[in-house]
DNA sequence: ATCCTGTTGG
DNA sequence: CCAACGGGAT
């Protein structure tokens, strides 16, 4: 079973999940930070709150004082540090690139740039690269590692899965939708306490076939 | 290993 | 009531 087959099997169950919703690349970037350890519903509220009081632009985040920004994004949790992160990230982008459009032509440089920013770890970085900047890169989160380790009954590294997936899937759409489908599967079935019996991947999963699981 | 924190679902 | 949440920093 290779990555492409896993993708197809998931796709026949979930189809196109339309990730990531957002009216602009910048909104996607903001959402990537806001959603850290937070459900997407609460991020939507935060973004709506921002939009209700002005347009969502880099300059506005930079010029907004940190406390009122924190208040606007309160529903997303961790609002003090996220407000600080967002301002710092926007300032750094403004200084080095001026706009997100100017970040779309140099993967290695942008990858290193994002990696150094406070508030952007591996998953947020990869999400921004894939969903906001449209680079052909795969997002690995803790769901992805758990999913693959159960599927093959083997521990994989971040690099293992990332390189293998980027080799096997050819389009940006597939990379976007693969991550989306793994997240949905992990919330619906491949949870910490998994629901293997009803899981659409059960018949090819080593963990599901050993299945010490509820009905 | 702990802190950051509001919201929702079971 | 508690667990979980498209994590990251120290």
CA dihedral A203, A206, A208, A210 (to 10 degrees): 120
The pTM for the full model equals: 0.95
Question: Can you give the pLDDT at residue A215?
Answer: 29
Residue A86 near residue A64, CB atoms below 8 Å: no
Task: Kindly report whether the peptide bond that precedes residue A6 is cis, defined as omega within 30 degrees of 0.
Answer: no
Maximum distance among all alpha carbons in chain A? 55
pLDDT tens profile A125-176: 999 999 999 999 999 999 999 999 999 999 999 999 999 999 999 999 999 9
Question: Can you give the pLDDT at residue A1?
Answer: 63
Contacts of A36 (CB under 8 A, 6+ apart): A78, A82, A124
Which residue has the closest alpha carbon to C9 C1'?
A: A119
pLDDT tens profile A71-120: 999 999 999 999 999 999 999 999 999 999 999 999 999 999 999 999 99
Q: Which nucleotide is nearest to A179 (CA to C1')?
A: C6
- CA–C1' gap, A152 and C5, in angstroms: 26
| Positions of strand B less than 7 angstroms from a protein CB | 4-9
- CA–C1' gap, A147 and C1, in angstroms: 30
- CA–C1' gap, A190 and B10, in angstroms: 17
**A208 pLDDT tier (thresholds 50, 70, 90):** confident
Q: Report DSSP state, residue A105.
A: S
Integer CA distances (angstroms), A152 to A9, A112, A165, A180, A207, in order: 15, 32, 15, 20, 8
Averaged pLDDT score across all residues of chain A: 95
């Amino acid at each position: 079973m290779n990555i492409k087959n896993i993708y197809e099997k998931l796709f026949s169950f979930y189809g196109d999940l339309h990730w990531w919703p957002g009216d602009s690349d910048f909104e996607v970037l903001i959402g990537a930070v806001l959603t850290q350890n937070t459900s997407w519903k609460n991020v939507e509220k935060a973004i709506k709150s921002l939009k209700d009081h002005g347009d969502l632009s880099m300059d506005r985040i930079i010029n907004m004082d940190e406390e009122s920004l924190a208040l606007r994004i309160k529903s997303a949790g961790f609002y003090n540090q996220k407000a600080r992160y967002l301002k710092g990230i926007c300032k750094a982008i403004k200084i080095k690139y001026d706009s997100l459009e100017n970040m779309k032509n140099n993967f290695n440089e942008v990858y290193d740039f994002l990696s150094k920013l406070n508030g952007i770890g591996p998953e947020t970085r990869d999400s921004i690269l894939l969903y906001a900047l449209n680079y052909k890169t795969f997002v690995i989160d803790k769901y992805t590692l758990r999913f693959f380790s159960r599927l093959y009954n083997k521990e994989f590294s971040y690099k293992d899965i990332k390189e293998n997936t980027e080799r096997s899937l050819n389009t940006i759409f597939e990379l976007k939708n693969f991550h989306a489908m793994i997240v949905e599967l992990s919330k619906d079935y491949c949870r910490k306490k998994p629901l293997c019996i009803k899981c659409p991947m059960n018949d090819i999963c080593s963990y599901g076939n050993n299945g010490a699981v509820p009905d």
